[in-house]
Every structure is written in structure tokens, then in C-alpha cells.
Amino acid sequence: MSSPTTEESAPQPAGIVERLVRDDVDRKRFLKMAGGAGAASFGAFVLAACGSSSKKTASTAAATATTSTTSPSATGDIAILNYALTLEYLEREFYAKVVASGFFTGKVGSLIKDFGSQEATHVEALKGAVSKMGGTPVANPNGKFPITSATQVAELAYTVENLGAAAYLGQAGNIQSPEVLATALAIHSVEARHAATLGTLVKKSLTPDGAFAKPDDMSMVLAAVKPFLA
């Protein structure tokens, strides 16, 4: 695996999603503001949180978004892309550590490496999508993952991939841009295929939710990934 670039290794401020994961107060504030309002409220929260030093209210932040060069729907989509990017950063780091552990060899080892490479490609695609929309890609958080045995790692990977697929599905209805939606669904499909493949490895259901996959809302996903942040 190639060594991290200077940009990736340089200290960066925590992104809004990482702060939401770490801080229960911020997370509750987000959930209260976002509620059922979808991407517009999500974008307003991002503006409010990033401008907390000026103590903007959610309504002021929403007005700022409306008058800015970036439309409210684009602001919301950027926030969702950064949310997905945070999850992909963690998945990329997880697989890198699994590969480094040496627990898997042969065909399974090659498969794990392929999964890690695909997660790294997701990271670059999402960073590019955020930049293309005029946003700033969220900083790469530092992860921590229990890597103790092949069985434990495989079961954790199964859980992580199912969580990733459910997270993308949970945001599909909030995305405004057809291009962003296409990107999210393309990645969601791969996450689900990863999860199904890992299901065969750990002898668990390939379709744990039955005929229809169930989405996870952001509160569930943020709570689930919190233990994996260093």
C-alpha cells in the first residue's frame, strides 16, 4: 500500500460530520434541526455549525445559503457527499489495517485487497464530486478498529459494509442532484455486494433485511461509527 500523501498526513481540522459523531450535543442539535426537512435543513445545519462563532441561527444560515453562489439544494448535496466521504475514509482505513494484519491470504486475501482498493476509489470519487460542486472535502478522521483475529475481522467487515449500504440508502431521498444520486446509488450497490460476499464468508444472511433493504438514518449511522473514531 502506498504511503499517505503530504496532504493526507498533514493535521486538518475535524469536519462537521466527524464532530457530529464525537459530540452528542451537536448530534442532537443536528437531528432536531434536520428532522424531516431533508437536505435543505441539513445544509442549514452545516452552515450554522461552521459559523458557530458568529452564533447564527438555523434560519439565518438558511438565508445565507439562499443568497450565496451555491444553491440550497447544492449545499445540502455537498453535505451529504461529505457525510458519505467520512464513512468511506473509515472503510478505506479499516481495510488497509486488515490487509496489513496478514490474517487473510490466497483468494480471500485478494478479495479483501480488492474491497480496500474499491473503498479508496470511492474516497477519491466523493472528494472529486464535492470539489466539482464548489465545496471543500471533509478532513480525513483518524480511525481505530479492533483487529484481533480473522473471524472477528470478517464479522466486523460484514457489519461495516451493511452499515455503509444502509447509510447511502438512508440519504437517497434527500439528494437533489441527479448526478449525485447516481454516484450514491452506484456506491451503495457495491457496498451491498461487499456485504453479501462477506456474508458467505461468515455464514450470515446475504439479505439480512429480506426482499427490501432497510435504510439507516443518520442518527443510527453516527452512533454506530462513533466507537471507530480515535
pLDDT value of position 73: 67
Q: What is the mean pLDDT of the chain?
A: 79
pLDDT value of position 36: 39
Q: Which of 19-23, 50-54, 71-75, 113-117 has the highest mean pLDDT?
A: 113-117
* Cβ 204 vs Cβ 151: under 8 Å: no
User: What is the per-residue pLDDT across 74-124, written as a single tens digit (0 to 9) for each?
Assistant: 789 999 999 999 999 999 999 999 999 999 999 999 999 999 999 999 999
* Cβ 18 vs Cβ 86: under 8 Å: yes
Name the residue among 41, 128, 119, 23 with its Cα closest to residue 79.
Answer: 41
Question: pTM surpassing 0.85?
Answer: no
Residue of 24 and 160 predicted with greater confidence: 160
pLDDT value of position 17: 53
Instruction: Tell me the pLDDT band of 26, cut-offs 50, 70 and 90.
Output: low
pLDDT value of position 53: 38
* Cβ 40 vs Cβ 73: under 8 Å: yes
CA atoms within 13 A on the CB side of 143: 19
pLDDT reading at 48 higher than 90: no
pLDDT reading at 218 higher than 80: yes
* Cβ 40 vs Cβ 224: under 8 Å: no
Report which residue type is found at 112: I
pLDDT value of position 19: 58
Report which residue type is found at 155: E
Report the SS3 class of residue 143. strand
Q: What percent of the chain has pLDDT over 90?
A: 66
pLDDT reading at 3 higher than 60: no
Q: What is the mean pLDDT of residues 4-27?
A: 52
pLDDT value of position 28: 55
pLDDT reading at 31 higher than 80: no
Task: Return d(Cα 105, Cα 102) in angstroms, integer.
Answer: 7
pLDDT value of position 24: 65
**Residue at grid coordinates 440508502:** 169
Report which residue type is found at 228: F
Task: Look up the CATH number of domain 12-228.
Answer: 1.20.1260.10
pLDDT value of position 25: 60
Give the residue extent of every domain in the chain.
Answer: 12-228
Residue of 1 and 96 predicted with greater confidence: 96
Q: What is the mean pLDDT of residues 55-80?
A: 53
